[in-house]
Amino acid sequence: MHPNESNLHQPVTDIADPADGVAQTRADAHAPPEVPARGKQPKVRTTGQEGASEKAAKKRKPGRPRVAPYKEGKVWSFRVRRGGLDIYESGFASQEVAYEAMNELVKQLGTGKAPMYGGPGKNSLGKSLQRFGLDHLPGLKGAPQAVRRFNRWLKALGLPTLAILPVAQADQAPKNTTVRKGRYWAVHLVPDSAQVRIPRGLNAHRAALMSKSADSARVRQVLAAKDIAKVGRDDLQRYIQALEAEGLARATVGQEQSLLSGLFNHAKEFWHWNNMGGNAASGLNLTGELVKRERVLSEGEQTRFDEAVMECRVQTSKPAFQLLLETAMRAGEPRNATWGDVDWDNCVIALRETKNGKARKVPLSPAALDALRELGPSQEKQEPIFRMTYESLKAAWRRICERAGLEDLHIQDLRHTAATRMALKTGNVFLVKALTGHETFEMVERYVNVTALDVVKVMHAAQTPAPATPPALPPLQAEQQSSAPADALALMAQLAALSAQLSAQLAAGGGQQRPAPGPEHARARGPAANEPATGSQAQGA
């Protein structure tokens, strides 16, 4: 037997040459060894058992996560859990790049306070806002409004945008998509290719918005691509000035500042980005005046509004705005409420989630019930009352106001109008508070906007003559009133009411009165009325 013949029965692992990618064959294993060039080491051949042990050692490499990246659409993603954190990363071009990023992340997390996601020097402002949205929006009650502010920054970089669903509908998210769940919402990313197509009727609305905000959009695009570590207070101040130059209200500009300030605070506290310095979004100068909104729809304006809304191609526009005007609901509340929340017997809508996080019941007037019937009650209890998006509702509102010639009128002003009309109609602030759902009378006061014309209307209202009232009953003394039983007081009140009704009937001519006695009759009477008459006097009478 050849001395090397016994080795032929040993399994030999094929080793790939990294230079040309060709695997060595079994016959090459018995070729005489070549003399390696200077500076190069000869290749070491391993048996099957040794190869398996080397693979096991690689698997046990410290810091290597047990999970593997996975393909999500056209990009690669991974998800890692460390220290109670659920970290999701996406947008990698290949599996190898995702592996490198995942290993680096695990290495940083191993120290406990290492900067996450590579730190601020490796993340742009737009990418940081995307991560902040995934962390922040699931537990934010006002996420439907905030997500639009987030996505403006993400679209500036062409990043996947954020989409939200009620947490009970999280299973409706696209498959193979990581969903971040919170108390209120389930948040996931939507690639650019999966963006919802803009309806043809909204093209003009979008074009008007884009032309109005062209300057701030350019500044936003530059800042979104900049590393967050290099974003300074002067950069954000220029962005604020661009927003103010476009005529945005101070409250809107303040919301944009709060978004950026929340990002810096979140990154420092939860991502351990401590080397960014201070919060670049704090201390910005907002020059706009914080004006209290007092716009109310007058009766003449509502007549023009009703005429213009009849020309809408979308038949649900009229009942939608009528419902908001009659109930003082916010524009997003009928979109979150379902037909199963409508109590037709008691004439209320039970809102399970509101802006302040508490459930409340909205009273329905006869006109509000008619609007609901016109919207078309659905047999599906979980179907929302408003099926149109907020942008569609806003576009319809803009077209109606243009036709009616109404200026400076917002959808939110319908809420002011409903509260003001309830206050003028009833004079009861408690009823207004129950209608609007506010918790404090201070907020109710902000929504009740009584004008000078309303006061003039009350002053010059037709005055009806007050009916003659009988003399009031003598009031009880203080000690008698305090000791009088409740039944006696109630009886006295009923007697006073009956007396007032009798006087009103007499004043209206319900009974014929005797003519006033003349002088001859007075002389014939003789004695006073309280004196008894004699026999001759009685016969003369």
Secondary structure (3-state) at 467: coil
CB 363 within 8 A of CB 422: no
Tokens of 125: 């402002």
> Whose CA is closest to 116, among 232, 263, 282, 267?
267
Question: Which residues are CB-neighbours of 337 under 8 A, at least 6 positions away?
Answer: 349, 350, 351, 352, 384, 385
Question: Which residues are CB-neighbours of 251 under 8 A, at least 6 positions away?
Answer: 290
**Single-letter code of the amino acid located at 196:** V
* Predicted pLDDT at 60: 44
Distance CA 336, CA 387 (A): 10
pLDDT tens, 347-376? 999 988 777 767 889 999 999 999 999 988
Secondary structure (3-state) at 167: helix
Distance CA 157, CA 127 (A): 9
Q: What is the dihedral of CA 41, 43, 44, 49, to 10 degrees?
A: 150
CB 398 within 8 A of CB 205: yes
* Predicted pLDDT at 103: 83
* Predicted pLDDT at 464: 55
What stretch of H or E contains 260? helix 250-270
Tokens of 353: 């989630």
Characterise 427 by phi-psi region: left (phi > 0), alpha (psi -120 to 50), beta (else).
left
CB 155 within 8 A of CB 163: no
Q: Are strands 75-82 and 70-72 parallel, antiparallel or unpaired?
A: antiparallel
Distance CA 215, CA 305 (A): 33
* Predicted pLDDT at 401: 93
Backbone torsions φ then ψ of 115, nearest 5 degrees: -60, 130
* Predicted pLDDT at 356: 72
Burial class (CB in 10 A: 0-12, 13-18, 19+), 70: middle
* Predicted pLDDT at 132: 96
Secondary structure (3-state) at 495: helix
**Beta-bridge partners for 421:** none
| Residues with pLDDT less than 50, the chain | 1-36, 39-41, 46, 49, 52-53, 56-65, 194-196, 209-212, 473, 476-484, 510-541
Tokens of 300: 């003449």
Distance CA 229, CA 276 (A): 6
pTM of the predicted protein model: 0.52
Distance CA 388, CA 396 (A): 10
